[in-house]
């Protein structure tokens, strides 16, 4: 079951403002019954301000009244009909103010040493914008006379692993070159038939004796 945002503070409020049993409060707040009893005795959460679960929309008064009349009942979290906030889109990488003046130098280094990177990749890598990259490339940047190509890792604008990963994405894979020696069939050893098996071939007799 879902628990309240501040379990102990909610338990403090329920102990002080309702007649609910320790068991009911413990199960609703996700606490142990003995811990709730210790809160009521002033041994735990001393001086903690209680949080009203009705004001925060986590409980209704009708739900509390229902469970106060029957200790066997268990509190149920109120259903909130409020729309969930939409997630904020991820923006460009945050760069400290002190380092923002170094971005043109990092852009110049990347354009010089890694021209294969796209403007979108450079923008995502060091947290800059495409117009700034274009201005550095075209030498139309307002501070073009003072821009010096410097490594973005040394400037603290990105990590070495991030730069390596970005470069590996755009570098073509080199085809594997087969070793020509592996394609050649192994040369067969030539064996002298006269020496095969250690035997010496017999010289055939001359069918026409020279004396005839």
Residue appearing with tokens 């380092």: 99
Report the candidate in 67, 97, 63, 65 with the shortest Cα–Cα distance to residue 78: 63
What was the pLDDT predicted at 197?
52
Q: What angle do CA 27, 28, 30 make, to 5 degrees?
A: 65
**Which residues of the chain register pLDDT less than 70?**
1, 80-99, 172-212
Report the candidate in 54, 57, 13 with the shortest Cα–Cα distance to residue 36: 13
Q: Rounded to whole angstroms, how far apart are CA atoms 174 and 165?
A: 17
pLDDT digits (tens, 9 = 90+) for 156-204: 889 999 999 989 988 765 555 555 555 555 555 555 555 545 454 455 5
Tokens of 16: 């002080």
Q: Where are the domains of the chain?
A: 7-69, 97-170
What was the pLDDT predicted at 5?
84
What was the pLDDT predicted at 4?
84
Report the candidate in 49, 50, 53 with the shortest Cα–Cα distance to residue 13: 50
Q: Rounded to whole angstroms, how far apart are CA atoms 134 and 118?
A: 11
């Amino acid at each position: 079951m879902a628990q309240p945002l501040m379990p102990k503070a909610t338990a403090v409020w329920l102990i002080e403002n309702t007649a609910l049993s320790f068991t009911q409060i413990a199960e609703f707040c996700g606490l142990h019954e003995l811990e709730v009893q210790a809160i009521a005795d002033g041994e735990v959460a001393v001086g903690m301000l209680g949080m009203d679960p009705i004001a925060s929309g986590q409980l209704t008064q009708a739900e509390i009244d229902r469970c106060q009349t029957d200790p066997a009942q268990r509190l149920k979290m109120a259903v909130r009909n409020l729309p969930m906030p939409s997630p904020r889109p991820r923006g460009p990488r945050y760069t400290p103010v002190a380092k923002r003046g170094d971005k043109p130098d990092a852009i110049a280094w990347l354009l010089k040493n890694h021209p294969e990177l796209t403007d979108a990749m450079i923008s995502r890598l060091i947290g800059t914008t495409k117009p700034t990259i274009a201005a550095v490339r075209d030498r139309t940047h307002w501070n073009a006379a003072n821009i010096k190509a410097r490594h973005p890792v040394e400037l603290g604008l990105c990590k070495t692993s991030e730069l390596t990963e970005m470069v590996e994405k755009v570098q073509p894979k080199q085809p594997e070159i087969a070793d020509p020696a592996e394609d050649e069939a192994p040369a067969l050893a030539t064996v002298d038939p006269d020496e095969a098996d250690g035997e010496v071939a017999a010289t055939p007799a001359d069918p026409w004796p020279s004396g005839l």
